[in-house]
Structure 1
Amino acid sequence: MLSSSRAQAGEGPVRLQVDRLRIEIYPDRQRMGMAAARAVARAMQAALARQSQVAMAFAAAPSQNQFLAALTSLPGVDWPRIAAFQLDEYVGLPPAAPQRFAAFLRSHLFDHVRPGVIHALDGNARDLAQECGRYARLLARYPPEIACIGVGQNGHVAFNEPDVADFDDEQWVKVVELDPRSRRQQVQDGCFPAVEEVPRRALTLTMPAVMAFKQIYCVVPGAEKAQAIREMLRGPVSPRCPASILRCHPQATLYLDRAAAGL
């Protein structure tokens, strides 16, 4: 899909650009994750030099494991001045369920670096619309600065699913029905034993909320994502592939390994 003699020779990174979206391709997940982590750490340090507190949002998925592990290992970031947000959360999982995205981020990131504030989405709120409003108001208190995101096998960002993602959504957080492909991916990723156990609904930051972050770092490894990346970069900017809108962001970078790049 993305051809380069350097990438095929096993060297890296390969740097490309599609519209406004910068792309970096690395030979493997580990180097991809470390490169993204170093870039995010630099962005955090620069933002913290300008303001007293920095709002960040994080994706919670196995595809982020190498990136998050690398980010926790880097020194020199004043994590107590970070306000951390989720991108999404399942509706209806038991509070102790390890599949909850809040639990994932705790174990893979927050327990290691201790952000000053952690704003969790409550997928068990009695009034989900009220919870969406609460979370949107929290995010609006800060200038949204850095979003660390991924892309689903169907091209979703957070849980903004194909064809129903709204690039002009007036809401910043809402309840969504999950695409069957997203639910199957959770089983393929080893998060749930069967698709019947994957929740059918979730809370998610909408595409305008994601695009409101000043800087976006998108980390996507694995051959199973190659088709989504192809559509994201070669197809039209369209809700059919929600991730395609990242091509319009002024400060977004996509980090791929060779497998996700289709090399």
Structure 2
Amino acid sequence: MQINIFGTADRSGLEAAKVSAQILEAAIAKQGNARIVLSTGASQFAFLEHFIKMDIKWDKVEMFHLDEYIGLPESHVASFRKYLKERFLQFVSIKQAHLVNGEVDPVQEVARLNEEISKAPIDLALIGIGENAHIAFNDPPADFVDEAPYKVVNLNDTCKMQQVGEGWFATLNDVPKQAITMGVQQILKSKHIISVVPNLAKADAVVNTLSGKVDPLVPATILKTHDNWQLYLDQHSASKVVQWCDE
């Protein structure tokens, strides 16, 4: 585990983008291609702004993303497909993008995604941490055992309130009740994991992740078991980590 703390979310995102580019370029040099998993949400804005400007052979990169709401149209502001198309895919000529479609039969979509992602290892996964310490939409108590690459999950109210708080939905009742998400074990199979986690709203989740034992009630704690996990914080998300370290 490597913890990186910078003064601003922008600087944290920039440094994470630089390291991500190095990882992808090393994978491409070694095997001729690379596979990546991307996160979405407000916490990834700065990272993606810098990531799309990195000197990467994008035509050698295959992309998956973590999750998508079931039943939410792509035209909705909260759609993760819409998010990735507007903030990433329109700027890079990527080899292939495997977007999660929550508007089709979820059983068939999960089967399709599981087949695609199982074809080769993931070189780099960008895994954010939610306010309830979820990773992807694996809310607490998270299933640390299930080997399914993707699956359908129910979203808890804390997770849904984060989406309301970030402005993606007007009320709790507007947030879909279910989503398709990448499972914990699939995330851990990634060769490298980078978590970009800025902003004060994430301070509790960050300190609980770093100070506690591996616990399904704090899903992000499982990332500490990964040999190549890097965490990028800003001064706000790290504020309680610094206090904890001083105690």
Give the Cα separation in 2 of the matches to 1:95 and 1:233: 35
Q: Which of 120, 143, 150 lines up with 2:128 in the alignment?
A: 150
1:154 deviates by 0.1
Match of 1:181 in 2: 158
Give the Cα separation in 2 of the matches to 1:106 and 1:51: 27
Alpha-carbon RMSD: 1.0
Amino acid in structure 2 at the alignment position of 1:100: S
Pair 1:35-2:15 in alignment: yes
Gaps of 5+ in 2: 243-247
1:52 deviates by 2.1
Moved beyond 3 Å, runs of 4+: none
1:144 deviates by 1.2
In the superposition, the TM-score normalised over structure 2's length comes to 0.95
Match of 1:229 in 2: 206
Pair 1:137-2:115 in alignment: yes
Deviations 1:190-234 (A, max 9, x none): 111222111110000000011111000100001111111111001
**Cα contact 1:54–1:142 (8 A) shared by 2:** no
SS in 2 for 1:231: helix
1:153 deviates by 0.1
Give the Cα separation in 1 of the matches to 2:27 and 2:147: 27
Pair 1:57-2:37 in alignment: yes
Match of 1:209 in 2: 186
1:130 deviates by 2.3
SS in 2 for 1:147: strand
Amino acid in structure 2 at the alignment position of 1:146: L
Gaps of 5+ in 1: 1-20
Deviations 1:40-87 (A, max 9, x none): 01111101101122110100111100000011122x200011111010
**Cα contact 1:84–1:117 (8 A) shared by 2:** yes
1:114 deviates by 2.1
Match of 1:66 in 2: 46
1:32 deviates by 0.4
1:95 deviates by 3.3
SS in 1 for 2:123: strand
Instruction: Give the number of equivalent residue pairs.
Output: 240
1:96 deviates by 2.0
1:170 deviates by 2.3
